[in-house]
Chains A and B, each alone.
Chain A
């Protein structure tokens, strides 16, 4: 139980860090959007900056609270798929890992937007970023639903034992880990490109 509690606490801490970065990145995008010429803003879209940001922060708080509640329920209330001493066979744990993947996708989307706002004059890839975030979230949730829908069905029909079920969960976690790696690598590359651009400009600018 102590180990499971520790794992959940670590994962929820990572979610909290991701959400902190997301809120800061969203604020940064809104602030930098103000540098765009008026004709780049989407027609008819009102400037809802404070309200929009507040809503986003509240959504993140609600998501974290829901995840904490789910983790607590998984630890102390929900009946386990089978008795286990680690979190791998838990569907809640796997869902938490999927949520972390979704949040990472959001971070990549915001980071790309900040990079493009700086690199390309008068262009706002906000709509493309929002589309990416939407489809990424949908894709991750579909992956989770399809994988575990199939896994539960196979486990029931073929009478998988606890260890075999755990392997199915671990395999899903490795897929998620692979996708994390793609996202983390992308974040690193985008940050590297932004740093390179800012450093080049630094040579052409003497600070006041």
Chain B
């Protein structure tokens, strides 16, 4: 039996594998959710700088939505199986929707902002 076979068989037949996989699932889902929310928060902050320079109103509601889902992230600890999938879909999915909406509506402003900054430095 090769070492690779032994590894596969250990994963398939070790009696503690279910608990290990379940723990990894919850921990990685929670950390992914937190990392996503950090990314979306930074994106919204950048979008806000662009909006300010374009004279557009600042973002408000979207911060509220991602804050709600950041607070809800630890709730994933209390679910497993299909319920975990459904709650993960909501907790990761709705901030993802916020990101998609923000990217589509704010990316042009962000690009204009970065372009202005690069060109200003070039002229200085």
The reply to whether A150 and B35 form a contact with Cβ atoms under 8 Å apart is: no
The reply to whether A171 and B11 form a contact with Cβ atoms under 8 Å apart is: yes
| B71 CB within 8 Å of chain A | no
Interface residue SS majority, chain A? helix
The reply to whether B114 and A117 form a contact with Cβ atoms under 8 Å apart is: yes
Q: How far is the CA of A188 from the CA of B73 in the complex (A)?
A: 17
Q: A32 to chain B: which residues have CB within 8 Å? A: 111, 114-115, 118
The reply to whether B111 and A207 form a contact with Cβ atoms under 8 Å apart is: no
**Beta-carbon contacts of A31-64 to B below 8 Å, as 1s and 0s?**
1101100000000000000000000000000000
Q: How far is the CA of A177 from the CA of B92 in the complex (A)?
A: 13
| A142 CB within 8 Å of chain B | no
Within 8 Å by CB of A198, from B21, B46, B93, lies B46
Q: How far is the CA of A31 from the CA of B49 in the complex (A)?
A: 19
Given the contacts A117-B114, A167-B12, A180-B28, A188 and B42 also touching, CB distance less than 8 Å: yes
Give the residue name and chain of the B residue nearest to A180 (CB). Answer: B32
Q: B85 to chain A: which residues have CB within 8 Å? A: 3, 6-7, 10, 86
The reply to whether B82 and A188 form a contact with Cβ atoms under 8 Å apart is: no
Within 8 Å by CB of A205, from B25, B97, B120, lies B120
**Beta-carbon contacts of B99-124 to A below 8 Å, as 1s and 0s?**
11001100100110111011111100
Q: A185 to chain B: which residues have CB within 8 Å? A: 31, 35
Give the residue name and chain of the B residue nearest to A7 (CB). Answer: B85
Q: B36 to chain A: which residues have CB within 8 Å? A: 184, 188
Given the contacts A21-B100, A35-B119, A177-B24, A195 and B42 also touching, CB distance less than 8 Å: yes
The reply to whether A154 and B8 form a contact with Cβ atoms under 8 Å apart is: yes
CB distance from B32 to the nearest CB of A (A): 5
Q: B49 to chain A: which residues have CB within 8 Å? A: 195, 198-199, 202
Given the contacts A6-B86, A21-B99, A118 and B118 also touching, CB distance less than 8 Å: yes
The reply to whether A191 and B107 form a contact with Cβ atoms under 8 Å apart is: no
**Beta-carbon contacts of B1-38 to A below 8 Å, as 1s and 0s?**
00011001101110001100100110011011001101
Q: Which residues of chain A from 13 to 43 have a CB within 8 Å of any chain B CB?
A: 13-14, 17, 20-21, 24-25, 27-28, 31-32, 34-35
Q: How far is the CA of A170 from the CA of B12 in the complex (A)?
A: 10
25 contacts between A and B (CB under 8 A): A6-B85, A7-B85, A10-B93, A13-B93, A17-B97, A20-B103, A21-B100, A21-B103, A35-B119, A117-B114, A150-B5, A164-B13, A167-B21, A168-B8, A168-B11, A170-B21, A174-B25, A187-B35, A187-B39, A188-B38, A188-B42, A191-B39, A198-B46, A198-B113, A199-B49
